[in-house]
Structure 1
Amino acid sequence: MNQRLSICMLLFVLFSAPIASAAPPALELKSGDRIIFLGNTMIERSQKFGSWESVFLRSFPQAKLSFRNLGWSGDTVWAESRGIFDPPAVGYQRMIKQINELKPNYILLGYGGNEAFAGKDGLPAFQAQLQKLISDLKPTGAKLILVSPYRYENEGAPLPDPAKHNQELKLYADLLQQTAEKGDHYFVDLFSQLIPEPNGDPGLEWTTNGIHLTKAGYERAAGIIAVDLGLKPIELSPAVADEVTQLTFDKNREYFYNWRPQNITYLLGFRKHEQGQNAKELPQFIPLIEAKEAAIHSLVSSH
């Protein structure tokens, strides 16, 4: 009787215990793969330096990869920066349509930094919209890489001490990690690793103003991306690395002109009746971009 009771109790424990989500498979990129960077200012500014793209390129040097940066300064999971002269919901639908047309294999998401200004009370709304975004991206078949926001540095007076806001950023970083674990997505923890908890005298090391990353800040973040995703990037000679960085900058600038031309209202918006005929020039950037991507691959693969 006691033996039978023990077996029943063991089975109860086994089958009632929560089942942990399986970790996503090791990240493996192959020729033809496209990675989209989607998110806020952190994502948009990353295209200036190229270190985030470089860490993927150098981890799979024989793979012909392409990257498309769709970051938009000040953006949120509601696409609040993307409406232009339309409501954010319209900008959101344009964003989803553009992503589908780009046919990505991976999407690196950088959100939570702006949403954290809503504090703890904003978490439920952020979580709901994040889940909607993930659901709306699912038809692409792309694997998701969720990147957390990072701590702010303390620059000192007259700027406020970021300690309280850093606690709010942690709440959003934790939610992103939980979302990644539940959804079997990749996760990069910048909050815990990029900028140490400010202590002692105020000062800046990784940002220009306590918030926006410097070149060194992006390079440090790239190293964290490599570790958290299990990447093993090769080293390039300084000359080759400089050439790849310049080509990456030029390529990203041309893609920016392709999808966010300065006169977008005249070319694609409500005033296109005035200059819309010139929108035919936008696709002419694509061959220029692809030529630079081929040059980047040649440099990295032969190193």
Structure 2
Amino acid sequence: MRPQDRVVLLGGTLIEREQVEGYWESPLTLAVDFPVSFRNLGWSGDTVWCESRGMFDPPAAGYARMLEQIQQINPTLILLGYGNSEAFDGPEKLDAFREQYRKLLADLAGPKRRFVLLSPTYMEASSVPGIDRQSTAAHAQRYNANIDLYAAVIQELARDGAASWIDLRPAFSASAGSTPLTDNGITLNAQGYWVTGRYLSLALAGRQLSIEQLPPPPITTVSGREPGENASVREQLRSVIRDKNELLFHRWRPQNFTYLFGFRKHEQGNNAVEIPQFDPIVTELESKIQSMKPQ
């Protein structure tokens, strides 16, 4: 990352749920001694075709809206997290995935804009719901084989496009047999974001923070005393980051989108004028985030 970077996080569930946890953004914020801003545009279940973003419209409309949002934010750095949903399609759709991801990167390109491509994450067999553990293990093994195929394509695209590449899969090998990283085998839980956040801070900030920020949830130390002052400050910072992310979510993806901007805007579209009122509140919280960083 560089001073004054405007970072957009773009992708599916992996990206969207990070705005609720904040275990990526908080260490990245703390790892640099200059101001950086973050905008999370993740959408659950999304693909490189923007199939989830279409809502009541075709995917192409969601794709166009996403590009318009990128143009408005004008990021200097875009971090993309795709592949988990697409991997369910198996090897048969690998070439189509490659071509569409390449098109997405071309459409997102801008003057001096940089890209970071994340690998998709593995399925954690032990966390997959089900009684038949042998069956779920076999299912996870097949899915993870697909993940490796899709990750290889993403790494290839990063290399061809002079983008950065961050492989999150080793986090699952390092944590095997310990605390689960997912809620259901695929969706990262707080621990999963905390662990993978350390990979991101090392790759994007050039250093990895020491484990002073205790793993989630905040716990009492072995001695029975409360965590130290730094841990408390970091947790307060993460709380403000989460508040900022919630406001941003309502800014770009309001719950009543259909009435404000969609096919029913003729009924209540006049209320869309209120949406930009989120902006000064977000700006205020971002200033607070910067002021909370240890000097």
Tell me, which stretches of 5 or more residues in structure 1 are unaligned?
1-27
- State the SS of the aligned residue for 2:17: helix
**Counterpart-to-counterpart distance in 1, 2:195 and 2:85:** 21
Give 1:209 deviation, angstroms. Answer: 1.1
* Residues 1:175 and 1:184: Cα distance change in structure 2 (over 3 Å): same
Q: Which amino acid aligns with 2:11?
A: G
* Residues 1:197 and 1:296: Cα distance change in structure 2 (over 3 Å): closer
1:288-299 alignment runs, 5 A limit:
288-299=281-292
Is 1:188 aligned to 2:166, yes or no?
A: yes
Give 1:140 deviation, angstroms. Answer: 5.3
- State the SS of the aligned residue for 1:68: strand
Identity %: 42
For 1:150, the equivalent position in structure 2 comes to: 121
Is 1:117 aligned to 2:117, yes or no?
A: no
For 2:56, the equivalent position in structure 1 comes to: 85
1:165-244 alignment runs, 5 A limit:
165-191=143-169, 193-196=170-173, 205-229=180-204, 231-233=206-208, 237-244=230-237
Give 1:230 deviation, angstroms. Answer: 5.6
Give 1:51 deviation, angstroms. Answer: 1.6
**Counterpart-to-counterpart distance in 1, 2:185 and 2:179:** 7
Give 1:57 deviation, angstroms. Answer: 1.1
**Counterpart-to-counterpart distance in 1, 2:180 and 2:208:** 24
So what's the TM-score if we normalise by structure 2?
A: 0.87
For 1:51, the equivalent position in structure 2 comes to: 23
**Counterpart-to-counterpart distance in 2, 1:113 and 1:296:** 31
**Counterpart-to-counterpart distance in 2, 1:297 and 1:285:** 19
So what's the TM-score if we normalise by structure 1?
A: 0.84
Give 1:197 deviation, angstroms. Answer: 9.0
For 2:43, the equivalent position in structure 1 comes to: 72
- State the SS of the aligned residue for 2:117: strand
For 1:24, the equivalent position in structure 2 comes to: none
Give the root-mean-square deviation of aligned CA atoms.
1.9
- The answer (yes or no) to whether the contact 1:58–1:233 under 8 Å persists in 2 is no
- The answer (yes or no) to whether the contact 1:153–1:204 under 8 Å persists in 2 is no
Post-superposition Cα deviations, 1:246-297, rounded to whole Å, max 9, x if no partner, equal: 1011100000011111111001111111111111110001111111110010
Post-superposition Cα deviations, 1:147-172, rounded to whole Å, max 9, x if no partner, equal: 00111111363362201110001100
- The answer (yes or no) to whether the contact 2:7–2:75 under 8 Å persists in 1 is yes
Post-superposition Cα deviations, 1:37-65, rounded to whole Å, max 9, x if no partner, equal: 0000000000111121123211213x222
Determine which of 119, 133, 139 is the counterpart of 2:110: 139
**Counterpart-to-counterpart distance in 1, 2:259 and 2:143:** 40
* Residues 1:258 and 1:198: Cα distance change in structure 2 (over 3 Å): closer
For 2:216, the equivalent position in structure 1 comes to: none
* Residues 1:197 and 1:123: Cα distance change in structure 2 (over 3 Å): farther
Give 1:66 deviation, angstroms. Answer: 1.1
For 2:220, the equivalent position in structure 1 comes to: none
Q: Which amino acid aligns with 1:43?
A: I
When Rg is computed on C-alpha atoms for both structures, the one with the higher figure is 1
